[in-house]
Amino acid sequence: MKIGGRGPPFPDADLIRTLAALLAETGLSEIEYAVGDRRIRVARVPGGPNPGTVAESPAPARAAAVEHPGALKAPMVGTAYLAPQPGHPPFVRLGDSVAEGQPLLIIEAMKVMNHIRAPRPGRVTQILVADAQPVEYGAVLMLIE
C-alpha cells in the first residue's frame, strides 16, 4: 500500500515503533519509508540495543509475515484502531496471550466498527499496524503464534 492521505500528525510515534520492531525482527540496520511527501528513516547501529527477538532470517519482513501461519490479515479496507475508544488502553499488547475470539483490534469501514477477533488462541508476537492508520485488504495486522 502507498497511502499519502490524511493521517495522524507526522512524525507518528506508532509508526516509528512499528518500524523499530521490524528492524529488530529482520536484522536490518536501516529502513527508509516514504509516502507522498512524508519520509521516515529508522536505523540501528550493529551491536546497539536490540529489544526484539533476534531474527533467524534476514528476509523481508512483510513478505515473510504474509506467509507466516500466524499472520492475521485485514479482511477489508479501512482504518485500524488498536483500542476500543480513543485514550483507552489497547485491546492487546505485544507478548499478550489471547483466547480464540478475543477482540484484537477494530477496522472502521463505511462508518462501521468491525471487531477483528483472534482466529485461534496464541501469543501476540508482532503488531504490524499502528493505531488510527489505514489498512488495505490483505495487510498483515499481527502475528499470533
Partner 1 sequence: MFDKVLIANRGEIALRVHRACREMGIKTVAVHSTADANAMHVRLADESVCIGPPPARDSYLNVAAILSAAAITGADAIHPGLGFLAENADFAATVEEHGFSFIGPSPEHIRLMGNKVAAKEAARRLGIPTVPGSPGAVRDLAAAEASARAIGYPVLIKASAGGGGRGMKVARNAPELARLLPVAQNEATSFFGCGEVYLERHLDRPRHIEIQLLGDGLGGIIHLGERDCSLQRSHQKLLEETPCPVLNCAERERLTALAAAALAELGYRSAGTLEFLYQDGEFFFIEMNTRLQVEHPISEMVSGIDIVREQLRIAAGAPFGYRQSDVNLCGHAIECRINAENPDTFLPSPGRVTDYHPPGGLGVRVDSALYDGYEVPPYYDSLISKLIVHGKSRNECLMRLRRALEEYVIGGIDTTIPLHQRLAVATEFIDGDYDIHWLEDFVSRPP
Q: Rounded to the nearest whole angstrom, what is the least distance from the CB of residue 54 to partner 1 in the complex?
A: 31
- By CB under 8 A, is residue 40 in contact with partner 1? no
Q: Rounded to the nearest whole angstrom, what is the least distance from the CB of residue 75 to partner 1 in the complex?
A: 9
CA neighbor of 15 nearest in space, from 32, 36, 28, 37: 32
Strand, coil or helix: 26: helix
Q: Rounded to the nearest whole angstrom, what is the least distance from the CB of residue 115 to partner 1 in the complex?
A: 16
- By CB under 8 A, is residue 86 in contact with partner 1? no
Positions in 2-21 near partner 1 (CB under 8 A): 2-6
Strand partners of residue 115: 106
CA neighbor of 144 nearest in space, from 65, 56, 48: 65
Q: Rounded to the nearest whole angstrom, what is the least distance from the CB of residue 80 to partner 1 in the complex?
A: 10
- By CB under 8 A, is residue 110 in contact with partner 1? yes
Exposure class string for 63-92: b at 16+ Cβ within 10 A, else e: ebbeebebbbebeeebebbbeeeeeeeebb
Binding stretches for partner 1 (CB under 8 A): 1-6, 35-36, 76-79, 109-110, 134, 136-139
